[in-house]
Structure 1
Amino acid sequence: MNFQNLNTLICQEQSIQKHDIKLLEILKWDEIKKKLVKITIEITFTQDNKIVYSQEGVILRIEQVNDSIENQELLTNMEQIKYAQWQGEYGENNRKNGYWRVIWRGKPLRRVGGYYQNGLKQGIWNELNKNFWILAQIQERGQYFKGQKNGEWIYFFDDKKIGGGSYNQSGQKNGKWIELGDGFYNHSQVTYEGEYKNGKKIGLWDIWFKKHIVGKQNYMIGGGSYDQEDQNKIGKWIELSDGFQEFCQVTCSGEYQIGKRIGQWSIWYKYWETNNYKEIGGGFYDEEGSMKIGRWIELSDEFKCDLQITINGEYNNGKRVGIWQKINIQNNKIYSQINSDK
């Protein structure tokens, strides 16, 4: 054990004067499941203007904030929390000034950074996308005006343009956009294409998927519509499951009413050796507000391309009841079962 590092962490934890704590959902690569998974960490805002990222009592990152702590954009990717640092100078009133660059794993990233004027980003910037990590080295390029994104912004992956759109004078997304899926990486190149009106999604949005190793074709694999007012999903939708990727393509389809799932929803799996989707699960939502009812077949947390485990059972008023069985759909054998009433 490195006692110097241990003593440093103990001193850091003792020096934290807690001011406000919130839970934050972030993405982390799961080496066993071979996919990005969502986990929850703690964010502590201290009285001496620090942001502390921690998980189960272990400090992941301490960030000193010299500007308004309330306006700081939080990191939502585990690798950025651990490995990304910003380097530059401070001017009057301890505000960022001049050129700032990104240090990744101790080394400067080429062509990533931009200029501050009196604490505000100004002019052309090359930035890390919020999903940037070792398998998704995505950068964004565009212009800031007095700390606010303005005009056209472009997303780059493998030095190729893969998306982007424009911001209006109020810093809101406007017009046609191509956005990246939250779990975007080399084997999950998912993009969403549609229109914004003053920062709200409207009309038809299509979901596209680009294969990484077979021909690199771009396929439309889902989508649906938003209303014109409140960014509510409406009508028929095909959506992607969490962790969707090239070797484990799972989608779900059904209907929305004013942003809530209603009626029957089906879960589909695309087998790698074919081009066909097979229905492997699903169930019903009530007509009031996205509450699951009756018999459901869902994906288990263990589900992956070489171990296709579903969990089957009953919902009552949105809660699991009775015996739920985990079933391997490759051989139709019961994997395990639990009593949800206990």
Structure 2
Amino acid sequence: MKKSILFLIILIIILQVAHAQEIIEFTDNITVETLEQNNKQRTRNGNWKVTYPGVNRYELGKYVNNNREGKWISYYSNNKIWKIDTYKNGDFQGEFKQYNEKGYLVIKGQYFKGRKAGEWQYYFKVGTLSDIGKYVDGKKQGKWVSYFPNNQSLSKEPRKIIYFKNGKKDGEYISFYANGSVQEKKKYTNDYPVGASYLFHKNGKKSKTIFYDEKGKQIASKNFYESGVLKEKRIFDSIQRVISIETFYATKGLERIKKISYEENNKISKVLEYHKNGELKTKGTQINDKQEGLWESYHKNKELKSKISYVAGKIDGDYKTFYSNGQIEYNGTFARGRKMGKWTLYGGRDYTIIETGHYNEKGKIGQWKYFAKKKHLFKIENYKNGNLDGEYIEYDSYNKGVIRAKGKYVKNKKDGPWIFYDDTGKIIERKRYSMGSFISDK
């Protein structure tokens, strides 16, 4: 039994050491004052307790001739140590430690004449090492290493390595994925990235290259697919605005998808898009990233596919599309992004009219006619402000002039008597509707 009790006592001591919670007592002649009082000028000597109103924290330490001296311990409201500062003649000098409320060490380092010096260690809230490196005269110097949170790094490799000179990044920078493969590599000079910076996919293939000038300004970049094939190229001007973008298909032949060139303070851009075979697909102009003026697109065989006019990003004016043999497909007009006026669709073997009618600002209006492949009338619809409204006649697809159905719509709903015919024109069924609801067979 005694051995068990002794073991528990030893275990408790070990756990206390593991959490690095030091026990420091100030018992003789302690003077107590608030933080506000402590900031006022007065002569202080001996042991003091300074309280932090509103946050329930306090600190204990010694004054010698009005200067803090030796170790000063700050505590949380639960009486666990918050931080340990070491002073000499009122300046930070010596060991520094800081803990979280659970008792885990989060910062450990040294001061010399009031400035950070030597090795400093930073920890995650669970007590595992986060960052480690050195200070000289209060500035980061040399190699600094960052680590993944507990159990995240599968290969126990660092998360990041950075080199410093006089507190500024200077030299190689490298970061890693949790599996140990490189995520990013670049170089710094006087805190600026310079030259080429490389980013990688998790599979080790390059994902991006960024090019910097001597002042750390980005001048160009390249993005890559996971296969390593070039995906995009960008060029920047002296104030970091994009002046050119090229995108590519995910094949090794570097077939271009699109090229955008900017001009006039990046307000105007020229856009070129390409098919996989390298032939031009689309060309046009943008103003403030909105399509403007005439845009043309092409089939893979170089034949014109469409001619469309834009104003401030909305289609406005003539609208024409073409089949790959040059025959017209659609012919119509837009007004501020809406179809207006007469529209006609062509098709079939002879590229004759398939449908034709008119639009107003609310949609289809008036009579619309539809034609079968053999050029004869297939259907007549009547519209009012975008809704089927009025007489409806449907003809047989193969027997010219033979009616198959006849009736009336009101606001997109069948209404009144409807008659249905066979392919010889003989009546086979009669129905009556009321605003879309079937009423009877008579």
User: What TM bracket, shorter-length normalisation?
Assistant: 0.3 to 0.5
**TM-score, length-normalised on structure 1?**
0.43
Which structure would you say has the larger Rg? Answer: 2
Which structure has the higher relative contact order (CA within 8 Å, separation 6+)?
1
Query: TM-score scaled by structure 2?
Result: 0.34
